[in-house]
Amino acid sequence: MPGIRGPSDYSREPPRHPCLKINAKEPFNAEPTRSALISSYVTPVDFFYKRNHGPIPVVDDIERYSVSLSGLIKNSKDLFMKDICKLPKYTVTATLQCAGNRRTAMSKSRTVKGVGWDIAALGNAVWGGAKLADVLELVGIPYLTSITQSGGKHVEFVSIDKCKEENGGPYKASIPLSQATNPEADVLLAYEMNGEPINRDHGYPLRVVVPGVIGARSVKWLDYINIIAEECQGFFMQKDYKMFPPTVNWDNINWSTRRPQMDFPVQSAICSLEDVSVVKHGKITIKGYAVSGGGRGIERVDVSIDGGKTWEEATRYQRTGVPYIADDSSSDRWAWVFFEAEANIPQSAEIVAKAVDISANVQPESIDSVWNLRGILNTSWHRVHVRVGQANL
């Protein structure tokens, strides 16, 4: 693609914040500390998790960069950044979460394959750009279209970056056309993140943001948009990011028996404490995040200090001082909520958090019940252990 290229090595990687916890260097995958993650409702770009499958693309000439729209449509079209920026600009506050978030805890139950994420492989940003529904109108696809006249039912996003899983080919993914053409789904071609141009790690100059869906579908460094009859046949749609039962292993797996994962389930985690913490005697504050996919708000977060025998409801909020009402127009539909609870801790305690969304979906109690060989969607109750004592100086 003129103006942008996917390097073959890692010699031109962008700078990263030194406080990130690096889970893999090449390709670069990293997350913030727990405390940094919940330091702000809108995650600073530096602390937004980095998920990459290859070297970061390099933009040589932004004026020559364009995105090609083609496939099962009457007329193909190349869109330059100036064309996209002429469309109405929308801002959407949305949480993106890697499907492998909390994989490390799942691997402690039984070994899984994948990047070893703690609980911070997600972040909440204010994304700015054009709605995909408006972009598709430019090639004759009206709002709320499920199938084009030529039989297109899916929208495939193809990146400029190269990854080994595609044998050196580009990363790609797709979403249903019905979702892409629904302006209420808020799917964006985003060129801004938190009021600034998206940086290289997060998709500069243009990326897709699909709110409420696992991060793997929000393709960065956009190269092509294809209207296709069937869902994308790329590796990360067909041979990864699928939810299998605990009985499936690498000897008996049949990838074709499961659909690609889209919405992420209800999730929460405690961020004010590590897996094992020493605290002072008295009352402590328990803080964390909760989020659910598909635009489902958080109805409740329950916190226990006795391993789940008894529970207290935590307070929930998005912006400090503004009451959070799940599914209300005053709340950010696609974004996480923070929760907070206070408790007097006995000599030692297992603190547990679980969230419930507006559809009454609740996190499962055990990791074993959701264990899968790729270690995705660990949404089991989040547990940390504390004891009262004198912290080492």
CATH number at 232 reads 3.90.420.10
Q: Do 67 and 199 belong together in one domain?
A: yes
* Cα separation, 114 vs 94, whole angstroms: 25
Q: Do 224 and 298 belong together in one domain?
A: no
> Residues, the chain, total?
393
Which CATH number characterizes residue 302's domain?
Answer: 2.60.40.650
112: helix, coil or strand?
coil
Q: Do 154 and 290 belong together in one domain?
A: no
**pLDDT, average across residues 58-75:** 97
The predicted pLDDT at position 391 comes to: 57
Asked if residue 132 is part of any domain, the answer here is: yes
The predicted pLDDT at position 29 comes to: 98
The predicted pLDDT at position 392 comes to: 54
Domain count, the chain: 2
Neighbours of 370 (CB within 10 A): 21
The predicted pLDDT at position 2 comes to: 83
- What residue numbers bound the domain in which 73 lies? 4-239
Neighbours of 308 (CB within 10 A): 16
DSSP letter, residue 162: E
Asked if residue 223 is part of any domain, the answer here is: yes
**pLDDT, average across residues 38-45:** 98
Q: Do 234 and 276 belong together in one domain?
A: no
Looking at residue 105, its amino acid is A
Contact 218, 150 (CB under 8 A): no
Q: Which two tokens stand for residue 208?
A: 């897709």
Q: Which of 165, 166, 185 is nearest to 175 (CA)?
A: 185
Asked if residue 249 is part of any domain, the answer here is: no
Alpha helices in the chain (DSSP H): 34-37, 81-86, 103-109, 132-137, 177-180, 235-238
Asked if residue 214 is part of any domain, the answer here is: yes
Q: Which two tokens stand for residue 338?
A: 């923070």
174: CB partners within 8 A, 6+ apart: 154, 155, 156, 157, 217, 228, 231, 232, 237
Q: Do 202 and 279 belong together in one domain?
A: no
End position of a domain, from candidates 199, 220, 239:
239
The predicted pLDDT at position 188 comes to: 99
Percentage of residues in the chain having pLDDT higher than 90: 95
The predicted pLDDT at position 7 comes to: 94
Q: Do 289 and 233 belong together in one domain?
A: no
pLDDT digits (tens, 9 = 90+) for 338-392: 999 999 998 899 999 999 999 999 999 999 999 999 999 999 999 999 999 875 5
**pLDDT, average across residues 61-72:** 98
Asked if residue 260 is part of any domain, the answer here is: no
Q: Do 319 and 188 belong together in one domain?
A: no
Q: Which two tokens stand for residue 275?
A: 């897996």
Residue 51's pLDDT band (boundaries 50, 70, 90)?
very high
Looking at residue 265, its amino acid is P
Q: Do 233 and 366 belong together in one domain?
A: no
Asked if residue 246 is part of any domain, the answer here is: no
Q: Which two tokens stand for residue 386?
A: 């504390």
Q: Name the one residue in this structure whose structure tokens are 């009262």.
A: 388
**pLDDT, average across residues 208-225:** 98
Phi, psi values for residue 386, rounded to 5°: -130, 155
| Buried b or exposed e, range 372-384, using 16+ CB within 10 angstroms | bbbbbbbbbbbbb
Q: Do 280 and 228 belong together in one domain?
A: no
Q: Do 220 and 325 belong together in one domain?
A: no
Mean confidence (pLDDT) of the chain: 97
Q: Which of 4-8, 195-199, 214-218, 321-325 shows the lowest mean pLDDT across its residues? A: 321-325
**pLDDT, average across residues 163-180:** 97
Asked if residue 140 is part of any domain, the answer here is: yes
Strands 122-131, 89-97: pairing kind: antiparallel
Q: Do 19 and 149 belong together in one domain?
A: yes
Q: Do 235 and 351 belong together in one domain?
A: no
102: left (phi over 0), alpha (psi -120 to 50) or beta: left
Cis peptide preceding 205, ω within 30 of 0: yes
The predicted pLDDT at position 393 comes to: 42
